[in-house]
Structure 1
Amino acid sequence: MADGLLETAIGAGISPEDVKAISDAIDIEELTKLVLDLSNIYSPSTGEAEASAFVHEWMSREGFRPLSVGAVPHRQNVIGSFGGHGPGKNLLFTAHLDTESEPADPVVREKTKRPSGTVNREWKECWLEDGKFYGYAVANDRGPMSCMLMAAKALKKAGYELSGRMYLTACPGECGPEPIEERGGIDYMGKEIGAHYMFHHGGVAPDFAIAAEGTDFGVTWLGCGGAMFRIRIYGESIFRPLLKAPRATADHPSPIYKLGPVIEALHAWSLDYEKLNAYHAKGGSSLPKATISSVQAGFPYSGGTEVAAIYVSCDLSPKQKAAQVLHELEAVMRSLPGLEFEVEPVNVSHGYEADDEEVAPLVTGIDIAVQSVLDTPVEIAKPVYSSMWRDHNVFNMHRVPAVTFGPVRWRPTPEDFFKCTLMYALTALAVCGRAEGDVKALAGKTVYGDNPFD
């Protein structure tokens, strides 16, 4: 460790001996096995039960006193804890159990995926090849989840006692879906059934939180929300033998024929949307985008329709509200002559950010951990990681300073996860502090510095 890093570590009560002791307590083969075992459980949104049970059993076996809470029996949040032996700060780690997947419903799959799109091995299988992990569940999000679990085990194995609590939480529903129209109700709930539900009912009281997800070892305390708007276009359904078809599609009575100019206008608006709503702050940059995500118009067997609907999905930076987008979309539609329309939001989740000063102690702890492992200061994460929903939004929403921080996102290696595990453990030690009578301190090793989080 360089002299500058040693000084930084000393300032937070972390010594080079701590780094070595915790590093030695991490078994990279055990970590790799946990990543693969957990990631090879098929766990799409709404189907997280088996992965939830696996994490609960692991926490119980390792002595982290797990609790399961959920709005429904088959979608349980798992909450474990380590430490809590003194007046230190509480640090919560959260990772999500669900992974994006191909549609399970064959009707939805046929209408949204080309035939070759459903045969990708990485949807359901994870493996190690040429020193890299493959499989979507590893990256999103059970690789970082394994790191957070193994970080607590390494601290325990190395004999550290934390003054504050280190919460370990595994939650369903981060990826979605969201209830909408005929697919509504609790069976389709996403975010509210996961970390949001856990925050209210999981017996946690964190001072800080980390969403354990891949960020390429960068950190950000910003997060975008998202909203979906339904634009209904109304027209007439005329019995085909009576139809006198006009030459111009804009004059056609069917709302389906009016979709072309509407799509062009919405696309032009979306390009400006990206430019006008970019948000740059100390904790990162949010670059919200907007797209047309679905078009629905009638049924093949009905012969015609009076309604065509376009669904617009957009990101919302921490400074935006859904009302802004509603007004803009209405203005776009009014600019098109002769249209009868209706615009309304069907799903809304706002974005959030932590207060720069309130989150600073957590960022300092992460920076110390990154410097101790990578020999370089932590950097602000790439905009992509602060331009999406991640569950640190839940905590920033509730005034608990939170960041997202984690390992290499794409094609991580066992070494990447080893480094991340060590960083998570060092961050917990820095933030939560050592309990009085910590066996490492009693072993004759000097512990430098005061806990800067008191």
Structure 2
Amino acid sequence: MPFQIVKQALPGLRRAPLVDLSPALSRIEAEEVIDLALALGNIDSPTGAEGAAAEYVFDWLTEQGLSPRRHALVADRFSVSAAIEGRGGGYGLILNGHLDTTLRPDAVWSAKDPLDRLYRGAWLEDDLIVGDGVVNDKGPVAACLVAAKAIHQSGIELPGDIIVTAVAGEIGREPVDEFEGTDYLSKDLGTRFMVTHGVVADFALVAEGTGFGIVWAEPGMSIFKVTVFSDGPRYYTPYLPDRGALADAPNAIVRAAAVIAAFEDWASGYQTRFREDRAGGRIVPKASVNAIRSGYPYEPTSAPQVASFYVDTYLPPAANPIDVREELRAVLRTAGVNGRVDLIVYRPGFEAVGVDRLVDTISRHHRARFGQDPAVVGPEVSSMWRDTNAFIELGIPAVSYAPRAASHASRKAIRAQDLVDAAHVYAAVAIDIASQRREPWAPLGSHLNALSDRADLTAGNSGTRVTQVTPA
């Protein structure tokens, strides 16, 4: 499990100075965590319409005496941050979660009932908070917010900064075909935009459901458009020739069925070939056909000559999406169908380096709260793209750690007590990290050049840095 790996790699990892956590932890009230999770969960904020939820968080932070900032690539789709500034000399930590939810109310071609209360609201049911938006991700966001409030109002003075964030655009939505513009942006205007516009710390804890396991390796993602062409005329239905093999049909929709069958065989082998066991999590990169279009429903009298389907494909860290494109082209050849493959989205995946201090700190406070080591996560938890990748890409060591119901895939609910426990762990981890001494000019731990540039930066701080220039 993650803690055991870190303990073996870093047997002498320095513990934090003794800090009294009780002034902050005693201010965390279960009722406040639950009420805030319900309040956020009952604000409908699908990706593309996060504004109302962000306004609520901004106002809530203001009421608690913090000074929130807006980070907006698009005015009505902003992220929120609030910093508890340290006196200097300590590590900084970002607590991060997202406000957008998975399903738009008009998504009639994605869900049987997109207006189902499960997608649009939140409610208490025995010891559970039910609601897709609370599970992903407003419940953990509420835990982060209450943890930050407790630290701020406790008056604890720390060397490092603690920054709480609630972001837009974590859930995948991408411009494609005629669906262009900022309404279709997601990951480019959320966490990544926020970091590049001033929200930077030494570490980030992404509060996304892991079942209280710690994950710091996640795949990249790529989306491909596979277009199938018919070689025949655009037959009016009465003139269709006799049926033959699917791949030879004059109808591009029927030909696409042959290609999708070949794709399914390929996808099964792909996730087996590229399964990886890493210190930060097991990655099983899966691929799925999740959208298809061809013809016009108001004119279904002729066989279409064109059909496209859209493939969501996860990538092992460091994989080149061009190699996947080549394999998808081979799928077309295997099916014996004329077509083309276009890469329309690429986002790299990473395994964080320089994250050991954060993993150790979370592990210690998890054990203090639960009396056992962090959970061992299943590959489905560490095989998805999260904002952890955005932080790591920009050099900030990041992990995912948050509660998650065992029934997450089918039952969108979370134990209320789990959110309360999460708030306690988040507060303890933030205080602990921010109390640990940070070496001046220590590079961002996950930056590509962190190891090679560390000595140069330290030397530069002492006024003795020398830059080597190779003659032409």
TM-score bin, normalised by smaller chain: 0.7 to 0.9
- Secondary structure of the residue that 1:215 maps to in structure 2? coil
Query: Out of 250, 255, 259, which is 2:252 matched to?
Result: 255
- Residue 76 of structure 2 is matched in structure 1 by 74
- What are the within-5 Å matches in structure 2 for residues 142-181 of structure 1? 142-181=138-177
Over residues 287-341 of structure 1, what are the superposed CA-to-partner deviations in whole Å (9 max), with x where a residue is unaligned? Answer: 111111122222231734221112222112224221121011111212233x321
d(CA) in 1 for partners of 2:320 and 2:378? 23
Question: Bigger shift: 311-320 or 239-248?
Answer: 239-248
Deviation at 1:407, TM superposition (A): 1.9
d(CA) in 2 for partners of 1:254 and 1:13? 70
Contact residue 71 and residue 80 of structure 2 kept, 8 A: yes
Over residues 372-393 of structure 1, what are the superposed CA-to-partner deviations in whole Å (9 max), with x where a residue is unaligned? Answer: 1112222443322211111111
Distance 1:402 1:113, change over 3 A: closer
Distance 1:10 1:336, change over 3 A: closer
d(CA) in 2 for partners of 1:244 and 1:122? 45
- Residue 456 of structure 2 is matched in structure 1 by none
Deviation at 1:21, TM superposition (A): 3.8
Contact residue 82 and residue 162 of structure 1 kept, 8 A: no
Deviation at 1:13, TM superposition (A): 2.5
Runs of 4+ in 1 over 6 A off after TM superposition: none
d(CA) in 1 for partners of 2:200 and 2:355? 16
Over residues 22-51 of structure 1, what are the superposed CA-to-partner deviations in whole Å (9 max), with x where a residue is unaligned? Answer: 332211112221111122111111111111
- Residue 205 of structure 2 is matched in structure 1 by 210
Q: Does 1:196 align with 2:185?
A: no
- Residue 402 of structure 1 is matched in structure 2 by 398
Q: Does 1:13 align with 2:11?
A: no
- Residue 450 of structure 2 is matched in structure 1 by none
- Secondary structure of the residue that 2:308 maps to in structure 1? strand
AA in 1 matched with 2:396: V
Q: Does 1:92 align with 2:94?
A: yes
Structure 1: runs of 5+ lacking an equivalent: 1-7, 436-454
Q: Does 1:58 align with 2:63?
A: no
- Secondary structure of the residue that 2:124 maps to in structure 1? strand
- Residue 457 of structure 2 is matched in structure 1 by none
- Residue 347 of structure 2 is matched in structure 1 by 349
Question: Bigger shift: 168-177 or 246-255?
Answer: 246-255
Over residues 357-377 of structure 1, what are the superposed CA-to-partner deviations in whole Å (9 max), with x where a residue is unaligned? Answer: x10011111111112111222
Q: Does 1:223 align with 2:221?
A: no
Q: Does 1:315 align with 2:314?
A: yes
Q: Does 1:275 align with 2:272?
A: yes
- Residue 386 of structure 1 is matched in structure 2 by 382
Distance 1:207 1:245, change over 3 A: same
- What are the within-5 Å matches in structure 2 for residues 34-49 of structure 1? 34-49=36-51
Deviation at 1:55, TM superposition (A): 0.7
AA in 2 matched with 1:365: T
Contact residue 23 and residue 156 of structure 2 kept, 8 A: no
Distance 1:289 1:58, change over 3 A: same
Distance 1:9 1:309, change over 3 A: closer
Q: Does 1:125 align with 2:129?
A: no
Structure 2: runs of 5+ lacking an equivalent: 1-11, 438-472
d(CA) in 1 for partners of 2:255 and 2:281? 40
- Secondary structure of the residue that 1:92 maps to in structure 2? strand
Contact residue 9 and residue 372 of structure 1 kept, 8 A: no
AA in 1 matched with 2:15: G
Q: Does 1:375 align with 2:371?
A: yes
Distance 1:9 1:247, change over 3 A: closer
Higher share of residues assigned helix: 1
d(CA) in 2 for partners of 1:237 and 1:137? 47
Contact residue 94 and residue 205 of structure 2 kept, 8 A: yes
Q: Does 1:288 align with 2:285?
A: yes
* TM superposition score normalised by structure 1: 0.86
Distance 1:141 1:247, change over 3 A: closer
Distance 1:252 1:167, change over 3 A: same
d(CA) in 1 for partners of 2:359 and 2:150? 22
Deviation at 1:61, TM superposition (A): 1.5
**Aligned residue pairs: how many?**
416
d(CA) in 1 for partners of 2:421 and 2:240? 70
Contact residue 122 and residue 134 of structure 1 kept, 8 A: yes
AA in 1 matched with 2:229: Y
Distance 1:332 1:165, change over 3 A: same
Contact residue 158 and residue 435 of structure 2 kept, 8 A: yes
- Residue 105 of structure 2 is matched in structure 1 by 104
Distance 1:138 1:275, change over 3 A: same
AA in 1 matched with 2:323: Q
Deviation at 1:413, TM superposition (A): 2.6
Over residues 159-207 of structure 1, what are the superposed CA-to-partner deviations in whole Å (9 max), with x where a residue is unaligned? Answer: 3112111111111111131111111121110100111111111x22211
d(CA) in 2 for partners of 1:367 and 1:294? 40
d(CA) in 2 for partners of 1:368 and 1:200? 31
d(CA) in 2 for partners of 1:172 and 1:143? 15
AA in 2 matched with 1:234: F
Deviation at 1:434, TM superposition (A): 7.1
d(CA) in 2 for partners of 1:383 and 1:241? 47
* TM superposition score normalised by structure 2: 0.83
d(CA) in 1 for partners of 2:111 and 2:371? 45
- Residue 22 of structure 1 is matched in structure 2 by 24
AA in 1 matched with 2:264: H
AA in 2 matched with 1:11: R
Contact residue 73 and residue 193 of structure 2 kept, 8 A: yes
Deviation at 1:243, TM superposition (A): 3.7
AA in 1 matched with 2:347: S
